Structure 1
Amino acid sequence: MKQEFKKWKTDPIDRRDFLKKTGGIMGLAMLSQLPFGSFVLADNQDFSFAIIADTHIDPYNPARSERLRTIFNEISNTKANFVLHVGDMVEAGFAEEYQEFDKILPAELKGRVYGVPGNHEVRWDEWAGELYEDLFGESQYSFDHGGIHFIALDPTQLLQEPGYFTASQLDWLEKDLKKTGVHTPVVVYLHYPIGNNNYYIINENKFFEVVERYNVRAVFTGHIHREEVWKQNGMTLISLPAAKDSAVYHWVEKKNAANGSPILAIYHAEINGSSPSGKTLLVEILLEGVKPAQFEKPKLVHFTGPKDASGTGSLHVELSPKSSIQSVQYQFWPEDTYAGKNPGDWQDLIPAKSSRLQWRGNVHTSDMALGVYLLQVRVTNTQGEFWDEFQEVSIDKSEGIISKSRMNWVQELRSPIQSDLIVVQNGASALVVASTMDGEIVTLNLDDKGKTTWSYKTRAAIIGTPAVNKKQDRIFVGSADHTLYALDTQSGSLIWTCKLPKPILGTLHYIETEASGIVLIPVGRMIAGVNAETGSLLWSTQIEGLSAGKPASDGRFAFIGAGDGKVRALDAATGKVIWTKPLAIKDAPYRTLLYSPWASKAAVLPKGPNDRQLVLVGDVTNAYALDCATGAEVWRLKGGFLYSSPLILSEPEPLLILADEWGKVFAVEPATGVVRWMITTQQRIFNASPVLANGMVYVTGVNGLITGLNPKDGSVVDRYHFSTGYTYSTPASLGNILFAAGQDGKVRAVTVNARSL
């Protein structure tokens, strides 16, 4: 049965109405949508183009608009064949920001500006990429021009800050390069800088593996708002300065050098006042012949893990006879860095006395948790060019004995998992429910090593966590395809659907009632209540700001935080607003959104003295305990509590376990906010919430480290590094097993072990 939405309250920004007002595509169609016959130049023909980065257009900041207008006006008077934009075109992905961008773009450049999204287009995107695609076309595409193959990559992650290359994106890249061939020069552009000391894409090694067999010569990026050039893994990589800060861009000319070899000449162009820009040569890139650091690629990297209690392993690197070696170094991917720069903790290897091509060294791992890690070897030549080789390695020795494997099983779903895992009963068996960014919900049988029991495919990403009714015979799934699904837990068969006006990005919440139950659904800038038995709409209420978090309920009221800086209490039966509590109202919509509880996972706390009940919500600065009846603030705790839901412990007395984004974990008295203990873990924590397993509290770091804590005093009792990918998903637990998942698309069953440190 399909339940169509009806009588929805008007959304203040309707996507299709906005498109009509702005003339549809705004003239910013991607090259992949143009008639190639009229566009592609012959092989080896000279041409020019411009590149812009990080304009961050915001109607509330007219200086940025003026800088971009200055750049566009100059470029429109040149012979530029096209303009590339490497992302962060706008500040927060608001429709009015795209409208401002359209106003700035001169008619001469319409249809000639081609871009990729940055994190600012996706971090708070209530349309889940739909508005961007309507305006600009596909976010990942390729085209040929003047003998060069151009590839636009989009490793952005919806509602997240850094980038990640999914398996499907890498498959697409591999196929595209295969069609291009190994001789055609290739230029890649994306938002995040890759390589060097940039750690914005945790699986950048997968990109390097795919492209190394092809003639990829240049990579253009933005994001860091600085101009940098480095030569690595056969390529010249360039990050651009931010056009939001000054009228600056890069001018690129494809031409022949004095010796007749084709090159790309990259110029720094900066406009001061009314004078034309002065163009300064930044770097010239050869399009054929030997590639940078080509001969520094190691022939062999061999890591041997520690065999005794010393925690000392060994590393052996063998190099090519053609290499020109300045240094050989190694490090493990920096664990304390998330979406940032890091100079690294590089350790030198030493050449063997018998051969300059054999380099060796001891690798000290005694302070590292057991598990899997990404080892990075860097070979630098005498020209300062370098090659990074990556290898996933396992550290599994402890206290002089071979440790029993803590990984019970691994199931590969091949799509990022951003929502939390949940465990449900299916008759006598237990199932782990996982939801993917490819829109699939999968149940894994715990009695059969995690093998799939059933799966159901929606038409878009599943980002928020599904909900389960009290009898656990129905699973409710919200998808970015605008649809709420009710599925039978035992078979996965569809019971009903309810169509909604926007993508569902938040986590669902089920309320048990005497009649049939209510499913609370954050949908864009509103919250809706749906009958859990029939799928019929009960009510919808506008909340005036993006909500991609989780609502909570005390049975009578529903509580939700939103991007307008406010928390609301609504009547759970009717959707009527009972009270509104402003938390963060700033001087512009973007700043309000940034500091708002837009992703807060609200939780109703145990009743305190005088039977008073509180609801906890968080933002990037505090956790707030509010009176459920009035919205009055009872206590607050300083910290970045926007993304994580509290773990509520009831014995021996009520206690809240809160994790903030900086890796701090707090034990707090729910009635008073008094902190019992606090500990800082080794990694930052995003989206993943604390869970209880085998009597211990477990928190999941964003770089794949799970840490077990004693709930009495916060002491560390367990650590295990289960993944080398980003982790935003809260694990599920059953007995002494944690079920953990992440952006690498793998679900793992890990034994918790309070004795293994």
Structure 2
Amino acid sequence: MRPEESSAHAASTPSGVDAATAADASQRIGETALRRGAAGERRPRGIGRRALLTGAAAAAGSAVVCLGPLWARAHILDGPRDDDQGWGTGPEAAGTVFASFITDVHIDAVAAAQDIHLQLVLEDMRALNVPLVLHGGDITEFGSNDTYDRYLRLVPEDFPGEIQHVAGNHEMRWDPSGGNVYRARMHEEGSRSFDHQRIHVIMLEVSGPLQEEAHVSRATLEWLRADLRMAGRTPSIIVMHCPPGADFHYVRGMDQLFALIADHPVRAILAGHNHSETVTRVNDTIVLTGRAVKNSPVHYLLRHSPTEEMDQLTVEAVSLPAPGDDGERTVTPVVTIPMGTPRASGHQAMPRRLNARAPGSAVHVSARIGGEDALVAAAAQVWDESLYGLTEHGTWYDMSIDGTLLEARIDVAAISPPVLPGTHRVRVRGTAADGGTWEAADELTTRGGPVRPLGTYEVDGAVTGAVVPTGEDTMLVSTDQGEVISFVLRGRSLRRQWRVETGSVHRPLALSPDAGTAYVPSLDRALVALDISRGRELWRAELPERVASAPLVVTTDGLESVLVSAGPTLNRIDETGTVMWTVPIPVQSCGRPLVLGDTVVIGAGDGTARGYSLERGAERWVAQLARRSTAYQRLLYGPWTTTVRPIGADAVLVGTVDTLHCLDAADGTTRWTAAASAMYTPPEILDDGTVLVVQERGQAALISPDDGTITPIGEGGQVSLDAGLAPVAGTHRAWHVSLTGVLSLIDADAPDVTALHQVTTSRVIATPAYLPVPGAVVVGDQDGMVRAFDVTEV
């Protein structure tokens, strides 16, 4: 669930739950023990019978959602279908209890409502002797150790079942350990699989460190391909946090995911995240999202009927009355999952040989299906890359069906939002007579505009932090797979000069003043110094915690040192790698500090900005910037990942989710505030002191350094997270690449923002580089593609 949505519920309590009830619930909390799987079944390491949390949306009753005609928006049915297509269950399901599915419990260190909901669900499962619990993620509110402690205590020692988890975005979004806290506390080692009652269960980890949106990476796809090959003809189900397919826009790489599983007997995907109960069918795979346990006590009971006549899983929503509610335990049929159907890729309705091209003013889309009567309708869509973290149908264009040929001609001028030159995706969706949907996707390249693609280079893992220029035509690229790579742009070619393994990197590295040394923040609990000319490690400073923040290089009295936070610590390291001092900071900091005079200013995870002495790290002042009622809200709305900027000779800018604060560097007092979300994309200070910002939702603006007056630039843009601006030296212009891959030029003098090119269909979470001599912008994306673009004609 998106943070701004979930935070509104962080301190909520259901009606009828008072302090006495909460206290009684706390007394009934038991310690947790681990339990291994049954002999003879393949189990991943670290399996425990630990948590139960399920997706329960606040909607009354149990509404089943499925797709209607392919171009039509998903609609809510009045009740579950009970027909011969295998969608519905009868009034009472039969079969062996296979498992229960729960999701989105959001255990907080202070809230009691979720505790009670979870306890009720666990007690019901224990009464049913459920052997396996599948947890769809968002176990905790924000992944802190105390929230994991509380969750683990809630599972009774005598609970009979085994509990398997996947991480949700709430486990990973604010975790400076890169997911290591989740893995250690839940004893889960990434994506894994096991067999249970002759069904192959895949726990697919798609939530990434410090990211809101899910991502099915190339490495995850490779692992899944190998796992499904080993499983052979055994029917499989996948558990993941964010739902893919249909009208969901929560998972990057979902087209590749569906293309892969189409060749294997994957019968269902169980997911959470959207806190509502929906059922869709994509390429003969049932996608079920569950209601959130945070909102009400609910779990989904799966019964297995492996007979000669049929092999199916029936799913029932078990809703329990919360304390103080007048109601009864209800069991509502949700969906039947056929386990014995053939592979989706062999189905007559599956679109194949998809081709999309844009030779002129129209996009031509064609595909083939296996049978003339396989589909009753079909439509095509140029994917709107601006959609982020939501459910949205978008605009679909009817396709003609001529025998087995599907075709559409889409007027480019009619597409909204306008299609930029560059790389896009086209989706084809067909509707079968039984209401199921069949989808395929292809890449589309549209030409034109002043930006010209140059060379590309594929690296292992996601490009993170920043593409950092080191010379006129050279740069450094860092990845979450732990590599720093030096590139040179020669003509149209990106060439690798050297590569060094440093440990996983998630924030921008820093350069020494002479650009001879790179200081790399590593999740291997270290700051690593690299010789840029030779590509070798100079030293490695071991730090107390994993480093998921950006270092700052400081020169005082001719001596160079580096400031960097590591989890809940701030550290100063000299030019030989010796730690000069370490001081605690509340919760964490994943941003970058600033030194003004002899004061170090940093944003912390308790909603504060803090000032420390540079010499010894003594605390000088504390400024509370997020006055919220819970630790989760203070973290979410505070400056936990801000890049502190100087403004004038004696003031600093500290950004939070919704406000930019101008503080006196000497004592932390507020000079002015501006209602601007300027934390994720760091602001740039122009030579006249004006502040240039790009807000989280993409709106660029100029902010007065005198009083914080905001002047918007342009008509708004697309979501911008983590990737900063690439200023053009000596001008009031800067290059910007949105999270959604749109390259824009911001001109503060005009003032205007010009969207120019769609550089990728992946996500961009790393700051691009502008190389002025060749006149190129270099962009790295989440799929590991490094691309250079000639911008000399702009």
Question: Does residue 267 in structure 1 map to residue 320 in structure 2?
Answer: no
Question: Does residue 56 in structure 1 map to residue 106 in structure 2?
Answer: yes
Q: Which segment is superposed worse, 622-631 or 276-285?
A: 276-285
Question: Does residue 483 in structure 1 map to residue 526 in structure 2?
Answer: yes
The residue identity in structure 2 corresponding to 1:453 is Q
Question: Does residue 746 in structure 1 map to residue 788 in structure 2?
Answer: no
The residue identity in structure 2 corresponding to 1:141 is R
Q: Which of 98, 105, 128 matches 1:78?
A: 128
State the Cα distance separating 1:184 from its structure 2 match.
1.2
SS of residue matched to 1:418: strand
State the Cα distance separating 1:690 from its structure 2 match.
2.0
Partner Cα distance (2:32, 2:784) in 1: 34
State the Cα distance separating 1:292 from its structure 2 match.
7.1
Question: Does residue 689 in structure 1 map to residue 724 in structure 2?
Answer: yes
Question: Does residue 280 in structure 1 map to residue 352 in structure 2?
Answer: no
Q: Which of 712, 716, 724 matches 2:749?
A: 712
**For residues 536-575 of structure 1, what are the alpha-carbon distances to aligned partners after superposition, in whole Å with 9 as ceiling and x for unaligned?**
1111121112210111122522110011111011122221
Equivalent residue runs for 1:490-501 within 5 Å: 490-501=533-544
**Which residue number corresponds to residue 444 of structure 1?**
487
Question: Does residue 373 in structure 1 map to residue 424 in structure 2?
Answer: yes
Q: Which of 464, 473, 494 matches 1:418?
A: 464
The residue identity in structure 1 corresponding to 2:621 is W
State the Cα distance separating 1:447 from its structure 2 match.
3.3
Alpha-carbon RMSD across the aligned residues, in angstroms, is 2.3
Q: Which of 345, 350, 353 matches 1:297?
A: 350
**Which residue number corresponds to residue 530 of structure 1?**
573
CA contact (8 A) 1:335 1:703 kept: yes
CA contact (8 A) 1:199 1:341 kept: yes
Q: TM-score, normalised by structure 1?
A: 0.89
Question: Does residue 361 in structure 1 map to residue 368 in structure 2?
Answer: no
CA contact (8 A) 1:504 1:523 kept: yes
State the Cα distance separating 1:343 from its structure 2 match.
1.5
CA contact (8 A) 2:600 2:613 kept: yes
State the Cα distance separating 1:62 from its structure 2 match.
0.5
The residue identity in structure 2 corresponding to 1:417 is V
State the Cα distance separating 1:334 from its structure 2 match.
2.2
State the Cα distance separating 1:24 from its structure 2 match.
11
**For residues 358-403 of structure 1, what are the alpha-carbon distances to aligned partners after superposition, in whole Å with 9 as ceiling and x for unaligned?**
43323425732110011111111122111111111100146xxxx7
Partner Cα distance (1:481, 1:660) in 2: 31
Partner Cα distance (1:28, 1:71) in 2: 19
CA contact (8 A) 2:502 2:520 kept: no
Q: Which of 163, 166, 170 matches 1:116?
A: 166
**For residues 89-130 of structure 1, what are the alpha-carbon distances to aligned partners after superposition, in whole Å with 9 as ceiling and x for unaligned?**
111101111111111101133771111000000011133222
State the Cα distance separating 1:80 from its structure 2 match.
1.5
SS of residue matched to 1:421: strand
Pair 365,210 (structure 1): closer, same or farther in 2 beyond 3 Å: farther
CA contact (8 A) 1:313 1:365 kept: no
Pair 129,328 (structure 1): closer, same or farther in 2 beyond 3 Å: same
**Which residue number corresponds to residue 630 of structure 1?**
667
Pair 487,469 (structure 1): closer, same or farther in 2 beyond 3 Å: same
State the Cα distance separating 1:56 from its structure 2 match.
0.4
SS of residue matched to 1:408: strand
State the Cα distance separating 1:753 from its structure 2 match.
5.3
Partner Cα distance (1:252, 1:751) in 2: 55
The residue identity in structure 2 corresponding to 1:450 is L
The residue identity in structure 2 corresponding to 1:32 is P
CA contact (8 A) 2:607 2:634 kept: yes
**Which residue number corresponds to residue 699 of structure 2?**
664
State the Cα distance separating 1:335 from its structure 2 match.
2.9
Aligned length: 702
Equivalent residue runs for 1:90-129 within 5 Å: 90-109=140-159, 112-129=162-179
Partner Cα distance (1:414, 1:24) in 2: 41
Partner Cα distance (2:46, 2:726) in 1: 51
**Which residue number corresponds to residue 713 of structure 2?**
678
Equivalent residue runs for 1:34-53 within 5 Å: 46-53=96-103
Partner Cα distance (1:443, 1:493) in 2: 11
The residue identity in structure 1 corresponding to 2:173 is R
Q: Which segment is superposed worse, 100-109 or 314-323?
A: 314-323
**For residues 233-255 of structure 1, what are the alpha-carbon distances to aligned partners after superposition, in whole Å with 9 as ceiling and x for unaligned?**
12011000001111101000111
**For residues 618-655 of structure 1, what are the alpha-carbon distances to aligned partners after superposition, in whole Å with 9 as ceiling and x for unaligned?**
011111111222222222211222211112221xx332
The residue identity in structure 2 corresponding to 1:711 is A
The residue identity in structure 1 corresponding to 2:44 is S
CA contact (8 A) 1:50 1:251 kept: yes
State the Cα distance separating 1:701 from its structure 2 match.
1.1
CA contact (8 A) 2:368 2:404 kept: no
CA contact (8 A) 2:46 2:189 kept: no
Identity score, percent: 25
Partner Cα distance (1:28, 1:640) in 2: 46
CA contact (8 A) 2:683 2:692 kept: yes
Partner Cα distance (2:237, 2:178) in 1: 28
**Which residue number corresponds to residue 498 of structure 2?**
454
SS of residue matched to 2:553: strand
SS of residue matched to 1:33: coil
CA contact (8 A) 2:32 2:156 kept: no
The residue identity in structure 2 corresponding to 1:489 is I
SS of residue matched to 1:692: strand
Q: Which of 200, 205, 224 matches 2:274?
A: 224
Question: Does residue 601 in structure 1 map to residue 651 in structure 2?
Answer: no
Q: TM-score, normalised by structure 2?
A: 0.85
**Which residue number corresponds to residue 211 of structure 2?**
160
Partner Cα distance (2:33, 2:603) in 1: 33
Partner Cα distance (2:358, 2:758) in 1: 15
State the Cα distance separating 1:614 from its structure 2 match.
1.7
Equivalent residue runs for 1:397-412 within 5 Å: 397=448, 406-412=452-458
Pair 629,59 (structure 1): closer, same or farther in 2 beyond 3 Å: closer
Q: Which segment is superposed worse, 109-118 or 340-349?
A: 109-118
Partner Cα distance (1:322, 1:667) in 2: 58
SS of residue matched to 2:376: strand
Partner Cα distance (1:644, 1:515) in 2: 31
State the Cα distance separating 1:350 from its structure 2 match.
2.5
Partner Cα distance (1:330, 1:279) in 2: 39
Pair 141,345 (structure 1): closer, same or farther in 2 beyond 3 Å: same
CA contact (8 A) 2:215 2:253 kept: yes
Equivalent residue runs for 1:457-606 within 5 Å: 457-459=501-503, 461-531=504-574, 533-605=575-647
Q: Which segment is superposed worse, 112-121 or 367-376?
A: 367-376
Partner Cα distance (2:181, 2:196) in 1: 28
**Which residue number corresponds to residue 397 of structure 2?**
347
**Which residue number corresponds to residue 76 of structure 2?**
none
Higher relative contact order (CA 8 A, sep 6+): 2
The residue identity in structure 2 corresponding to 1:678 is I
State the Cα distance separating 1:76 from its structure 2 match.
1.3
SS of residue matched to 2:444: strand
Pair 209,74 (structure 1): closer, same or farther in 2 beyond 3 Å: same
Partner Cα distance (2:501, 2:120) in 1: 47
CA contact (8 A) 1:468 1:476 kept: yes
CA contact (8 A) 1:301 1:317 kept: yes
CA contact (8 A) 1:151 1:189 kept: yes
SS of residue matched to 1:295: coil
State the Cα distance separating 1:525 from its structure 2 match.
1.3
State the Cα distance separating 1:452 from its structure 2 match.
1.4
State the Cα distance separating 1:430 from its structure 2 match.
4.0
The residue identity in structure 1 corresponding to 2:457 is Q
CA contact (8 A) 1:647 1:691 kept: no
State the Cα distance separating 1:154 from its structure 2 match.
0.7
Pair 643,24 (structure 1): closer, same or farther in 2 beyond 3 Å: farther
